[in-house]
Every structure is written in C-alpha cells, then in structure tokens.
Structure 1
C-alpha cells in the first residue's frame, strides 16, 4: 500500500522519515518535511543516482516537492542555476514538467498512486535531464510540449504503446453493488 498524500499533508516530517527509512523508494539520501503556506506539504529531498550512473559521475539531485491540499504537485530542482532542463515549465514557476496531463492515465502518476511512485517519477525525470544534458537525447519516448491538435500526443514507440496497454487503469471488474432497500 502506497503512502497516501493525505498522510503526507497531515505530517510532512513523518512522510520524509518514511522515505528515508522504508525500502519503498531507491536513492533517498536526505529528506526533510514541513508544512508550508496554505497547508501544503514541502519535502526537500536529496536523491542519489543509480549505481551505474553514480560511476558516470551523475550528481546527487536535490529537489523540493510541493504537495498542495488539492493534491496538485510541483517539483522544483534545487542547484539548478546554470543547468539546462529540457522538460521544465516556463517562469514564473519553473517546476519540472513531469507528465502531460492529457495522456492516458496508464502513463501518468495520479494522486491515488501515492508518495513513493511520485518520488520515483521525479527521481527518474532528474536522471533523464542529466542524460539529456550529456548526450542531447532524451532517454525515453519524449512527449512534446504544448497541446496536441486532438486528444493526447500519439505514442510513437512500440515499447511505450505496449506499456500503456500493460498499465492501463481499468475500472473494477466487479462494480460496487448498491445495497438493497
């Protein structure tokens, strides 16, 4: 069971401690949680690269995650001065552009997924940004910015199409029955 965002909002310091000590997320080297303006949860994380990337001198990434009471999430890379980012929103926010909201739910993090998948998404995104800075190539299928003409951006690679089918979020096969009166 994932760590619920309601728990993060109720006590960000405990959520940060959970990330540090549970075996549910890789690479959380430091975590501090506090309550911010408007009741938002603020988590400041230091995320260690995967061992193979650490050997390639990928940096420990520092990020501030803001989870608002409506479960809107923003991730702000710290130590970002003088570093290019391919998927970052324009000023004034300049938070990471983690996903396209019009994509199929199978390809997006949703609030009910919880804290651990969110931190994993952010960590992976920061690793991809570093790979892009080093090679000029985004290491996965790359969603363009902006609104598509129709619906969502098309999935171009067979691998992403397969994963979208694999992770499709289907309604429960057993609809809830209404109690008899």
Structure 2
C-alpha cells in the first residue's frame, strides 16, 4: 500500500499551494519512507530555528510530525522530540488539517516555538494547553 503522499499527488500539490512564495528557502525531500520539508524559521524575539516537517508512511496527511533544532526542554514535546502543538482530541479549528496548507502548519510551528522559548524564560505558557495530568484546558499550543 502506498503512503497518502504518493497516492494522492493532487492533495500534496494543494497542500503546498503558495508555500514557495511564503517560504522560498524551503527544501522538499522525498524517499520511500517519508515526505519531508525543511526550512529555517524566524521566531519573533528569539533565534531562527531549523524546522523539519515529516509525513511518514504510516500516517495520514494530518499526521505530520514537526521537529525543531535548539533547546528541547519543553512539556510540549512528544517522546520522539516532535512538537506537541495541539491535543489529538481538539476540534479541527484548534489543530492543523491539510486543507489549510503547509504554510499554515509552519505558522503554527512558529507560534509554538515562540511559546516554548518564552516559557523557558518565564515559566509561563502563552496560550491554552492540555497535559496528561489533566492540567490546563484547550489545545497544547
């Protein structure tokens, strides 16, 4: 069985719409196991971060994993180091869906990275959040 991004080329093209215009330095890499996008992302008031977006063979388009270089200390990261930007049970308006395009996912990552950096400085998370311990309300990031 082919991964969604090999099977539905039209969906990939729609998802990438306006991506190069907004992020001209983005790199696209494709292998048998993944479709990956890599870019340097400016984070307001903080350092630019290298962001990697990975679509694996076992996930749907909505199952993108987003990674960033730099400090990994955060309660908003999964065990594999990917950013936890929303809770899986959040409604579609609080999480990324492929119809919004990759540019929207990148902007969500930018906001998340800003919140992480601010949290590391102040101990305050700007925005709604949910944790396994039940603390907080709403989306993770």
Which bracket does the TM-score occupy, shorter chain normalised?
0.7 to 0.9
> Is 1:74 the counterpart of 2:65 in the alignment?
yes
1:90-123: CA deviation from partner (whole Å, max 9, x where unpaired): 1xx2211111011122212112222121111111
2:128–2:137 CA contact under 8 A, matched in 1: no
- From 9, 12, 30, give the equivalent of 1:6: 12
2:115–2:125 CA contact under 8 A, matched in 1: yes
Structure 2: give runs of 5+ residues left out of the alignment. Answer: 1-9
CA distance in 1 between counterparts of 2:73 and 2:101 reads 29
CA distance in 1 between counterparts of 2:31 and 2:14 reads 12
Mapping for residues 1-181 of structure 1, pairs under 5 Å: 5-7=11-13, 15=16, 18-22=18-22, 28=23, 30-38=25-33, 40-50=34-44, 53=45, 58-68=46-56, 70-71=60-61, 72-80=63-71, 83-90=72-79, 93-145=80-132, 154-155=137-138
What is aligned with 1:167?
none
Q: Tell me the TM-score normalized by structure 2.
A: 0.73
Q: Which has the larger radius of gyration?
A: 1
Distance 1:5-1:123 versus aligned 2 partners, 3 A rule: farther
CA distance in 1 between counterparts of 2:115 and 2:89 reads 21
CA distance in 2 between counterparts of 1:137 and 1:94 reads 21
Q: Give the secondary-structure state (helix, strand or coil) at the position aligned to 2:25.
A: strand
Q: Give the secondary-structure state (helix, strand or coil) at the position aligned to 1:30.
A: coil
Q: Which runs of 4+ in 1 moved over 4 A?
A: none
1:37-65: CA deviation from partner (whole Å, max 9, x where unpaired): 32x22111111123xx2xxxx10011111
- State how many pairs are aligned: 125
1:20 positional shift: 4.3
CA distance in 1 between counterparts of 2:26 and 2:77 reads 22
Structure 1: give runs of 5+ residues left out of the alignment. Answer: 10-14, 23-27, 156-181
Relative contact order (C-alpha < 8 Å, sep 6+): which is higher?
Answer: 2
Q: Tell me the TM-score normalized by structure 1.
A: 0.59
